[in-house]
Amino acid sequence: MKCLQLKNIFLVIVLAVTYSSQSQSNTNLLDVSQLNGMKSKAAYVTLEQNNFGNSKTFQEDDVTYKLWYNSVSGQCIKTYSKNFYIARVENSTSCKGKNTSANNPYNISELSKMKSKAGYTTLEQNGFGNTKTFQEGNVTYKLWYNSKTGQCVKTYSRNFYIVKVENSNNCGGNTNTGLGSIDNLNNNTVSTTSTPTISTTQTNTTTVTSVNNSFSISDISGMKSKAAYVTLEQNGYANSKTFQEGNVTYKLWYNSKTGECLKTFSRNFYIVKTENSNNCNNTNVYNSKYKGLKSKAVYTSIEQSGFGNTKTFQDRNVTYKLWYNSKTDECIKTFSKNYYIAKVEISNSCK
């Protein structure tokens, strides 16, 4: 009889502990209703401050969807943002218990037939940086690399829509990537013929091979100036100084990773000459370029230069962001306060 009583007491204790644990767990869950109607940015900061990590982001028309996962409580939340405000928020079961990682590559199929701009925004919001862009006929090809997961994606855009998307192996390494052209997008037939190499021999052009073997400044000789400047930024160079003399525009470009300084000469919207220079003064060109500018515009510019945002965190009224360029192996850190960039510095914390 005593043995039975002890057994019943033990059972009551176990049930009480279990109930207490479950109650405590439920208490720790975030009340998602408090996010409704908040400004999206403030809501995202609130989620991060409550130990939620953004595990997935995707765009559809003017609505941004985000999945948030808390590894401590196991809670998964989905937010719907429209016109910079949270339009809807709900608990979800789609986080699969962990954040996106190398073992969980991004599902590229959701980009198909999206508007190009929305597709590019979705890729950037999921940690991808644009590493290369080129045009052939009416098709725009873009390579995207996620330095955190190691995934490389190639998009094909025509008439402002994504007509094809595929995983690729061409994000890093060689200059001639053999990206080819599309013969018939409707049949998804891709030509394997490499893009023809254009002779880089130019009058008054100095050809210098970069320390980064995937880029040579001879690549930009004779290019339209605007396209050449984008190419330089995508290969880790930042414009440190610009000046005009007559009808010639001179620009100094510094690569903080390789220590290279380049000078471009542009006339009538084309690059007429490129050469090495010693006038960059080895400064942190990112700080001089972006300091004091609006944060949102700076983030867009950094992404267009081939960087992907690898980490974001908040400390009082300052937002810190780490950015990594997998092609140039550069890491920078931005400090944003009151919607403006207060400082940019070179960092070693991306990996």
pLDDT tens readout for residues 46-71: 888 787 888 788 777 788 888 888 87
How far, in Å, are 4, 15, 107, 118, 308 from residue 125 at the CA level?
61, 45, 13, 10, 9
Residue 314 belongs to a domain: yes
What is the chain's mean pLDDT, rounded? Answer: 74
User: Do 114 and 134 share a domain, yes or no?
Assistant: yes
Residue 24 belongs to a domain: no
Tell which of 80, 101, 122 closes a domain.
Answer: 101
* pLDDT band, residue 331 (cuts 50/70/90): confident
Which has more pLDDT, 10 or 102?
10
Tell which of 146, 172, 190 closes a domain.
Answer: 190
Q: Which residue has the tokens 């005593």?
A: 2
Number of domains the chain is built from: 3
CA 148: distance to chain centroid? 10
User: Do 157 and 95 share a domain, yes or no?
Assistant: no
Q: Which residue has the tokens 């019943």?
A: 8
Question: What's at 272, amino acid-wise?
Answer: V
Give, as one character, the DSSP assignment of residue 2: H
Residue 237 belongs to a domain: no
Residue 67 belongs to a domain: yes
- Cβ atoms 106, 155 nearer than 8 A: no
Pairing of strands 248-255, 260-267: antiparallel
- Cβ atoms 233, 305 nearer than 8 A: yes
pLDDT at 9: 60
Q: What's the pTM value of the predicted model, to 2 decimals?
A: 0.33
Residue 75 belongs to a domain: yes
Among 299, 339, 344, residue whose Cα is nearest residue 42: 339
Tell which of 190, 205, 223 closes a domain.
Answer: 190
Range of 181's domain? 110-190
Q: Which residue has the tokens 């100094």?
A: 252
Residue 206 belongs to a domain: no
User: Do 61 and 133 share a domain, yes or no?
Assistant: no
Question: What's at 91, amino acid-wise?
Answer: N
Residue 229 belongs to a domain: no
User: Do 150 and 92 share a domain, yes or no?
Assistant: no
pLDDT at 203: 31
In the structure encoding, which two tokens stand for residue 259, read together?
A: 């220590």
List, for residues 71-95, the tens digit of each pLDDT value. 777 888 989 998 889 999 988 887 7
Residue 60 belongs to a domain: yes
pLDDT at 334: 94
Among 56, 55, 86, residue whose Cα is nearest residue 71: 55
Tell me: pLDDT of 241 over 50: yes
